[in-house]
Amino acid sequence: MLSFCTLSAYGSSLGKRGGCRVLSVTQFCLKRLETGGGMLQIILGAVMLGLLWAIMTIGVYITYRILDIADLTVEGSIAMGAAIAAQAIYSGINPYAATFLALVGGMAAGLITGLLHTRLKVPALLSGILTMIALYSINLRILGKANLSLLRMETVYTVFKDMGVDKNTVFVNLGISQVVPVITLGLLCVLGIIGILYWFFGTEVGCSVRSTGDNPQMSRAQGINTNNMIILGLIISNGLVAVSGALIAQQQSFADVQMGIGSIVIGLASVIIGEVLFGKRNFFSRLVSLVLGAITYRVIIALVLEIGMPANDLKLFTAITVAIALALPVFRSYLSPITKSMKVGM
């Protein structure tokens, strides 16, 4: 039964085929969860994490879809953002300033990858891997040890707690007062970033970044310095990823040098889930779909964990999900001749 439920989670993440069966199984799962207690808590916890990871997903989208580069720097820059923010807060710096420092750090990481790729002509994938590996050591130096606790420290969420958003009796009674401050700030950040990026990619420079990813040869013929545009895109992307890392570290009250492992796959999974489920009509809806994709991913993970999948299998589960989603066009091309011949046969 367990594996059946897991499969249903796959099904709902991948598309609308066989909707009926998936629905009934989901209902079964939901019932089980409710009796297990705190369905709302689970979902809201997933939404909270999803919002924080959505910032990282937007960063991955900028490199993976707009620049057409699979940038592995993010594995290092998400941990770097967490490390910088944690160390800064630990040293008594204002948490907002600490998060800003994380942004700068991530941008620097993107700059290094960009310089490796464009100036030194290292292939994009390898440039990202090199920066990622280098960042592992750098992050250890920033943290001074493998992980750093932020328990009882002031974080960016403390302000919202002080404002009393979590003291509302409705939230307390529902048992969700812990997640409300994070969701509030996460939502504000995500909306702000969507607004800024929507504006930026509509400007002359933003259009040049997009055309560079779409057709570099044409872009150069139109006088665009494609190397600089690639660097700019990587800077923005990794800056966002680092901010995401900083916010995640403050939410979970610790930074860990290992926390970046597999994050690129999570980012890709969220991008793809968002595109498949929530469409890509225009740029604005694409940005929104990234956030919804990141949240959906977290909800799926929370559900499969709740059903009883061992947490150690999470990365395997994510990898398989992404592999299937990326292979969807191939499966479709195999399937479509069969359906066509069936129709002719009828």
Please report which helix (H) or strand (E) contains residue 19, including its range: helix 19-36
CB 64 within 8 A of CB 70: yes
Q: Which is nearer to another protein, 45 or 206 (CB)?
A: 206
Please tell me the distance from the alpha carbon of residue 10 to that of residue 300, in angstroms, as a whole number: 8
Query: What is the token pair recorded at 148?
Result: 């750093």
Q: How far is the CB of 68 from another protein (least distance, A)?
A: 10
Q: Which is nearer to another protein, 156 or 236 (CB)?
A: 236
Q: How far is the CB of 60 from another protein (least distance, A)?
A: 18
Q: Which is nearer to another protein, 209 or 302 (CB)?
A: 209
Q: How far is the CB of 215 from another protein (least distance, A)?
A: 4
Distance of CA 10 to the CA centre of its chain: 18
Query: Is the Cα torsion angle 291, 292, 295, 300 positive or negative in sign?
Result: negative
Please tell me the distance from the alpha carbon of residue 198 to that of residue 207, in angstroms, as a whole number: 11
Distance set, CA 185 to CA 96, 141, 157 (Å): 12, 29, 7
The three-class DSSP label of residue 147 is strand
Distance set, CA 172 to CA 176, 237, 250, 265 (Å): 6, 37, 21, 35
Q: How far is the CB of 44 from another protein (least distance, A)?
A: 36
Q: How far is the CB of 200 from another protein (least distance, A)?
A: 8
Q: How far is the CB of 221 from another protein (least distance, A)?
A: 5
Which of 4, 263, 327 is closest to 132 using CA atoms?
263
Q: Which is nearer to another protein, 221 or 346 (CB)?
A: 221
Q: How far is the CB of 210 from another protein (least distance, A)?
A: 6
Q: How far is the CB of 18 from another protein (least distance, A)?
A: 31
Q: Which is nearer to another protein, 153 or 207 (CB)?
A: 207
Residues interacting with another protein, by CB under 8 A? 200, 202-208, 210-211, 214-215, 217-226
Q: Which is nearer to another protein, 203 or 258 (CB)?
A: 203
Please report which helix (H) or strand (E) contains residue 81, including its range: helix 73-90
- Count other C-beta atoms under 10 Å from residue 34's C-beta: 12
Query: Is the Cα torsion angle 323, 328, 333, 335 positive or negative in sign?
Result: positive
The three-class DSSP label of residue 102 is helix
Q: Which is nearer to another protein, 253 or 285 (CB)?
A: 285
Q: Which is nearer to another protein, 117 or 298 (CB)?
A: 117
